[in-house]
């Protein structure tokens, strides 16, 4: 969302040198903050750890502010951390990182003009009856403007920030370096495959022609379902840096938090059903669960689906792993659930060997919640505190840290984010019955994803 206090916008650092300098400034600020915090704690007779000195509200605020200024891959990674960690992050860190889901400066007019001339030519304004200069939304990779075509059709035009695509690799490396230097990540943990996949995914998200293809894919998949609406693509105006689509009215989906229970339940049911269909039916999933990607039309309850840059195929291994895990959970079989979690890569063998009793207690909690008859009350978060406490105990044992397969991580982003949305709506949904539909699903291990 655009910061209302920043009506003129803030230029995106587009050159590699400018972005490198911003990261250098951030690193210097963090180092100074750590020294000050360390001195304060030593004066109080404490012996602070590296993490305690790093994870201060002031330091995390520095990170959030600078990533919001840089935008692009740097800000996107911060958003991923804040969404993916969900309820497991310490409250203070979660609250501060959540700023990145709500804060993005927009481009000043001169920078916007330069981008549109590069995409459409100097006479680009002749393509429209009206083009709103001030964006209606600004996010990590681009900002969105409303426009009217000569024939009266309304469009939403997403304009990519300059330099975003070219800076992805360096941004990811710089964020990884900050994590390493901070001491928050074990040096023995090999994150190279994850970084490589993050770069690949972000390059795909920065390709608006590809996103246009995904819009058309999901539009076809959901065309017969009145619960959803995917905006129609305007191919004639779409380029690698500018995405044009039908403007579909709606309100922020989280804004219905005060709506009648039935309305909230229906919205959450539709979102959870979409995840299950993506995972088990479509073979494709839009893996970015940012709430801003969903709007809702209050009069019909129809959910407007936006932003398909993170759409990707679901591998057979990922699908089968989730199926085995869910069926074990439905059956209340703790041992089978643990084995399925290891087989699918959710859990590392070292963690199970060292923390089996703790893991079994966590599985029992989840099975107990899944086994309750009737609708699951997402507003009841009492079990989350139990899971958080046990997860933090495991997290403190860095020798057993484990990175799940990349494909599983992306799918889990969508699943966790959808659960977080249902909790925000305080919805009640019979999830067990929804999952039971897939108990006898006949999957082909060599199923190919739907062609693009």
Report yes or no: 48 and 55 within 8 Å, Cβ to Cβ: no
Q: Give residue 414's pLDDT.
A: 92
pLDDT for 65 beyond 50: yes
Residue 292, domain member (yes or no): yes
- The answer to whether residues 263 and 173 belong to one domain is no
pLDDT for 169 beyond 60: yes
Residue 425, domain member (yes or no): yes
Task: Give the C-alpha separation, 67 to 85, whole Å.
Answer: 18
Mean pLDDT of 371-394: 81
Domains held by the chain: number: 2
- The answer to whether residues 281 and 173 belong to one domain is no
Place 8 in a pLDDT band, splitting at 50, 70 and 90. very low
Place 129 in a pLDDT band, splitting at 50, 70 and 90. very high
Mean pLDDT of 43-54: 47
Residues assigned a catalytic role? 288
- The answer to whether residues 173 and 308 belong to one domain is no
- 112-116, 243-247, 421-425, 448-452: range with lowest mean pLDDT: 448-452
- 83-97, 161-175, 369-383, 403-417: range with lowest mean pLDDT: 83-97
- The answer to whether residues 173 and 296 belong to one domain is no
In percent, the amount of the chain with pLDDT more than 90 equals 47
- The answer to whether residues 287 and 428 belong to one domain is yes
Q: Give residue 426's pLDDT.
A: 95
Residue 238, domain member (yes or no): no
Residue 88, domain member (yes or no): yes
Last-in-domain residue among 177, 194, 213: 177
- The answer to whether residues 264 and 173 belong to one domain is no
Task: Give the C-alpha separation, 419 to 87, whole Å.
Answer: 11
Count helices and strands in the chain by DSSP H and E runs: 16, 13
Residue 381, domain member (yes or no): yes
> CA torsion, points 33, 141, 86, 59, in degrees to nearest 10?
0
Report yes or no: 208 and 240 within 8 Å, Cβ to Cβ: yes
Mean pLDDT of 210-225: 98
Report yes or no: 447 and 316 within 8 Å, Cβ to Cβ: yes
Place 141 in a pLDDT band, splitting at 50, 70 and 90. confident
Q: Give residue 316's pLDDT.
A: 93
- The answer to whether residues 293 and 173 belong to one domain is no
* Residue 361 structural domain: 250-452
Residue 241, domain member (yes or no): no
Last-in-domain residue among 177, 200, 221: 177
Last-in-domain residue among 136, 157, 177: 177
- The answer to whether residues 173 and 275 belong to one domain is no
Total length of the chain: 452
β-bridge mates for residue 145, sequence order: 157
pLDDT for 84 beyond 50: no
Residue 208, domain member (yes or no): no
Q: Give residue 263's pLDDT.
A: 98
**Helix (H/G/I), strand (E/B), else coil: 375:** coil
CA gyration radius, the chain? 23
Task: Give the C-alpha separation, 243 to 19, whole Å.
Answer: 25
pLDDT for 39 beyond 50: no
Residue 193's CB is within 10 A of a number of other CB atoms, namely 11
- The string of pLDDT tens digits covering residues 276-304 is 999 999 999 999 888 889 999 999 999 99
> Tokens 């655009």 sit at which residue?
2
Report yes or no: 443 and 319 within 8 Å, Cβ to Cβ: yes
Residue 449, domain member (yes or no): yes
pLDDT for 70 beyond 90: no
Distances (CA, A) of 255 to 259, 302, 378: 8, 14, 17
- The string of pLDDT tens digits covering residues 181-202 is 655 555 666 667 777 887 888 8
């Amino acid at each position: 969302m655009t910061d209302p206090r920043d009506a003129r916008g803030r230029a995106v650092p587009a050159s590699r040198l400018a972005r490198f300098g911003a990261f250098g400034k951030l690193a210097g600020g963090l180092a100074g903050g750590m020294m000050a915090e360390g001195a304060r704690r030593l004066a109080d007779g404490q012996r602070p750890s590296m993490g305690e000195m790093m994870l201060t509200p002031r330091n995390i605020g520095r990170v959030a502010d600078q990533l919001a200024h840089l935008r692009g891959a740097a800000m996107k990674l911060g958003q991923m951390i804040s969404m993916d960690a969900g309820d497991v992050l310490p409250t203070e860190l979660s609250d501060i990182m959540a700023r990145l889901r709500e804060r993005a400066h927009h481009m000043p007019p001169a920078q916007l003009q330069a981008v549109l001339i590069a995409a459409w030519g100097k006479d680009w304004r002749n393509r429209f009856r009206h083009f709103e200069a001030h964006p209606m939304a600004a996010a990590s990779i681009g900002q969105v403007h409303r426009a009217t075509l000569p024939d009266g059709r309304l469009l939403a035009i997403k304009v990519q920030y300059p330099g975003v695509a070219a800076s992805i690799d360096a941004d990811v490396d710089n964020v990884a370096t900050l994590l390493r230097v901070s001491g928050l990540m074990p040096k023995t943990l090999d994150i190279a495959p994850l970084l490589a996949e993050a770069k690949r995914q972000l390059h795909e998200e920065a390709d608006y022609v590809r996103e246009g293809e995904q819009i058309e894919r999901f539009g076809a998949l959901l065309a017969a379902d009145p619960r959803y609406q995917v905006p129609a693509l305007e191919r004639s105006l779409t380029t690698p840096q500018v995405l044009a689509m039908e403007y579909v009215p709606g309100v922020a989906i989280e804004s219905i938090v005060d709506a009648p229970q039935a309305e909230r339940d229906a919205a959450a049911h539709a979102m959870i059903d979409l995840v299950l269909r993506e995972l088990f039916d479509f073979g494709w999933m839009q893996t970015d669960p940012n709430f801003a990607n969903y709007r809702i039309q209050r009069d019909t309850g129809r959910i407007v689906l936006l932003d398909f840059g993170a759409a990707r195929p679901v591998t057979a291994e990922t699908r089968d792993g989730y199926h085995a895990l869910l069926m074990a959970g439905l059956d209340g079989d703790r041992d089978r659930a643990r084995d399925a979690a290891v087989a699918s890569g959710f859990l590392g063998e070292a963690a199970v060997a060292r923390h089996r009793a703790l893991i079994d207690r966590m599985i029992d909690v989840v099975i107990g919640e899944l086994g309750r008859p009737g609708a699951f009350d997402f507003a009841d978060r009492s079990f989350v505190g139990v899971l958080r406490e046990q997860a933090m105990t495991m997290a403190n044992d860095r020798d057993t840290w484990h990175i799940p397969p990349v494909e599983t991580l992306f799918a889990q982003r969508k699943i966790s984010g959808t659960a977080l949305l249902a909790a925000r709506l305080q919805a009640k949904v019979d999830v067990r019955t929804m999952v039971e539909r897939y108990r006898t699903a006949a999957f082909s291990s060599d199923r190919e994803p739907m062609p693009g």
